[in-house]
Structure 1
Amino acid sequence: MRKIAFGLLGILFCHLAQGQQKPHYTQYILNQYVLNPALTGIENYTDVKIGHRRQWEGIEDAPVTTYFTIHTPIHKSDYRTTATSYQVPGENPRGQRYWENYTAAEPHHGVGFQVINDQTGPLNYLSAYATYAYHLGLSPRTSLSAGFGLGATSLTLNTSKLQFATPGDPVANSRGNVTRIKPDLNAGLYLYSADYFIGISAQQLIPSTVSFSDRGTTPGGQLVPHFFASAGYRFLVGEDFNLIPSVLVKYVNPTPPQVDVNFKLQYHDLLWVGGSYRSQDGFAGMLGLNVSNTFNIGYSYDYTTSRLNQFSKGNHEIVLGFLIGNKYDDSCPRNIW
């Protein structure tokens, strides 16, 4: 276990120096807002999500991610849906009539807030953002939104968890927390219609140098921009089922892009099952349930195909959703999965 801990710590500081520093989300499709601020205010209600992910279960000090997000529209009085929407009361939410009656959204604003905590071994990332987006119709059936998130990231090194000491380094030989706070900026665009969506976003747009000591040898590194591109399409399968394949591409210079391929099969927006493949990592299965028009839950399990599967029992992720002020009685999100 001691060798695993040292290996994990090495990966950790390598990621801080040049690798992916933002968390993975297997169920990104349930909350695209956590990746793209352009979805702020896209629904007809206040959308609240709570997510928790345990990665590499069975390995001590493996990554654990928890987030809370909330966003709401401003002056949005229309009743519009998109490729990731849920059902319209009193009619089949995914039948042929849905496509025939679809129209683009009226112009409106959205505001929101995100808090994301990601901990791996002795390092903890805590990020908070206030977000804003503007939505407008480009055509009778297509809408575009643009948004940004402004906030800060707090990086804390718990030196008491370091399993080594460097002579003369005041940080590595101390026993406590060392914290650095950096400003942060996210931005994105989201194109959506009745049966498809395309999104691009960038996180951590303010590059920052991180050093936990002014005169020591404790590892540090750079906070670098992260880029995301997503797309999905909805197919009608009979009158009761929809099949929604999607893809998410993540890029952090200088590492190769990572691709998530995802599919979701849903029945009347009441139940869904799905699967996912992440390049260079593994496979995942997902399932979800809409308990009522105010609550929904999704769960996923990832099987790792890399060398870590010798030690890891997989990854677990759960997402809880709450719909506040749902005056249209939507049973689930209408514009995001």
Structure 2
Amino acid sequence: MKKFLYLLLVFVFCIEVAGAQQRPQYTQYVFNNYLLNPAVTGIENYTDVKAGYRSQWTGLNGAPVTSYLTINAPLGSNFLQGDATAFPASGGENPSSRLYTQNYMAAEPHHGIGMTIVTDQTGPITQTNIDATYAYHLGLTDRVNLAVGVSAGVSHISLNTSEITTENPLDPAISNGNNSQWKPDLSIGVWMYSSTYYFGASIQQLLPQNLYFSTNNSYNQSKTVPQYFLTGGTKIFMTDDITLLPSFLIKVIEPTPVTFDINAKFSFRDKFWFGGSYRRNDSFGVLAGVNISSFINIGYSYDITTSGLNTVSNGTHEIVIGLLLNNRYKVTCPQHMF
């Protein structure tokens, strides 16, 4: 009976996470919006590489653990060699300054390409998404750009039955099924941006897929659902050196209630930043980051759980390391992903 109750709890937990969080969630999405929207591909004037690790609800056995690697870069000689947003060889004005925004001009039309690899493990279930991305950026006005993007690839989901103990070794919910599956994956997005604000909308999991491991009709009703994201952010100059950067993220995932994140961070020139976040009915977070050089930057966040899991969770840790390759203008912080 104890084994049955344990199995029931594991499956309820996995079903809850799979239903409401079929894709990983991120506190530091403001540091890498590329994870949520393919239209961000190639937005910066260098090759942007990021590696991230997130341990959610630490202390809870089987809680989600996410790791990822992303890379994207712009294409087009006009953008790379002489567009209006390019910095001189010395580095020029930092993107958080008033002077930079006053002199800002929209980027030349250009393409962007990239790739994302995201692995998310929750209990015995592991999902890995491998996607190639493409975006096209064009100027709406002399100070505003619009980008449209698409992400396409595959999703691999597997069930490690060795981590599950059942009362019946031939439990029909997991036996004689396909415990290692490949599915197609497709996402689209749009992104409008200037020197002082951005708005974006995207849809992930455009192709609904079956999400079960049994051939028994009593256990094969689960499916993936499209996930909708709407985000935006702006710059508010506090002083010549300090900038406030508020942002939001709204997530719509049927049939769960609409949820949202609210973030705000303070940036000191192009050296370091810190801030906080709130996720509805889930957590409060603190964030901090430092731009070590024109080659590397680091961000860290810690979430304090406010949901019913706070009695067993020690919070959530997330760290992101960014590399700025082919950074010919030696910028030390993103020009557009502020």
Structure 1 length-normalised TM: 0.92
Bigger Cα displacement from structure 2, 157-166 vs 140-149: 157-166
**Does the CA contact (< 8 Å) of 2:96 and 2:243 recur in 1?**
yes
Relative distance call for 1:177 and 1:319 in structure 2 (3 A) is farther
Partner of 1:24: 25
Q: Does 1:99 align with 2:67?
A: no
Partner of 2:52: 51
Partner of 2:157: 155
- Show the 5 A alignment for 1:18-167: 18-75=19-76, 76-77=79-80, 78-79=82-83, 89-166=91-168
Tell me by how many angstroms 1:137 deviates: 0.4
Residue in structure 1 matching 2:13, options 11, 14, 31: 11
Relative distance call for 1:93 and 1:170 in structure 2 (3 A) is closer
Relative distance call for 1:59 and 1:158 in structure 2 (3 A) is same
Partner of 1:239: 240
Deviations 1:119-172 (A, max 9, x none): 000111100100000000000110000000000111101111123245754663
Q: Percent of aligned pairs with the same residue? A: 44
Relative distance call for 1:56 and 1:106 in structure 2 (3 A) is same
CA distance in 2, matches of 1:162, 1:137: 54
Partner of 1:172: 174
**Does the CA contact (< 8 Å) of 2:175 and 2:214 recur in 1?**
no
Partner of 1:181: 182
2:54 aligned counterpart, secondary structure = strand
Partner of 1:300: 301
Equivalent residue letter for 1:137: G
Relative distance call for 1:5 and 1:312 in structure 2 (3 A) is farther
1:38 aligned counterpart, secondary structure = helix
Q: Give the unaligned 5+ runs of structure 2.
A: none
Q: Give the unaligned 5+ runs of structure 1.
A: none
CA distance in 2, matches of 1:90, 1:102: 12
- Show the 5 A alignment for 1:248-287: 248-287=249-288
Relative distance call for 1:110 and 1:336 in structure 2 (3 A) is same
Tell me by how many angstroms 1:98 deviates: 1.6
CA distance in 1, matches of 2:333, 2:312: 37
**Does the CA contact (< 8 Å) of 2:7 and 2:164 recur in 1?**
no
Relative distance call for 1:254 and 1:177 in structure 2 (3 A) is closer
CA distance in 1, matches of 2:322, 2:94: 22
Relative distance call for 1:70 and 1:98 in structure 2 (3 A) is same
Equivalent residue letter for 1:49: K
CA distance in 2, matches of 1:333, 1:264: 14
**Does the CA contact (< 8 Å) of 2:174 and 2:214 recur in 1?**
no
CA distance in 1, matches of 2:145, 2:28: 24
2:297 aligned counterpart, secondary structure = strand
Tell me by how many angstroms 1:52 deviates: 0.3
Tell me by how many angstroms 1:277 deviates: 0.2
CA distance in 2, matches of 1:274, 1:13: 33
**Does the CA contact (< 8 Å) of 2:249 and 2:262 recur in 1?**
yes
Deviations 1:52-87 (A, max 9, x none): 0000101111100000000010012344559xx9xx
CA distance in 2, matches of 1:5, 1:318: 32
1:253 aligned counterpart, secondary structure = coil
Tell me by how many angstroms 1:99 deviates: 2.2
Quote the RMSD (CA, aligned, Å). Answer: 2.3
CA distance in 2, matches of 1:317, 1:198: 24
Equivalent residue letter for 1:96: R
1:210 aligned counterpart, secondary structure = coil
Relative distance call for 1:4 and 1:243 in structure 2 (3 A) is farther
1:29 aligned counterpart, secondary structure = helix
Q: Does 1:226 align with 2:209?
A: no
Tell me by how many angstroms 1:11 deviates: 2.6
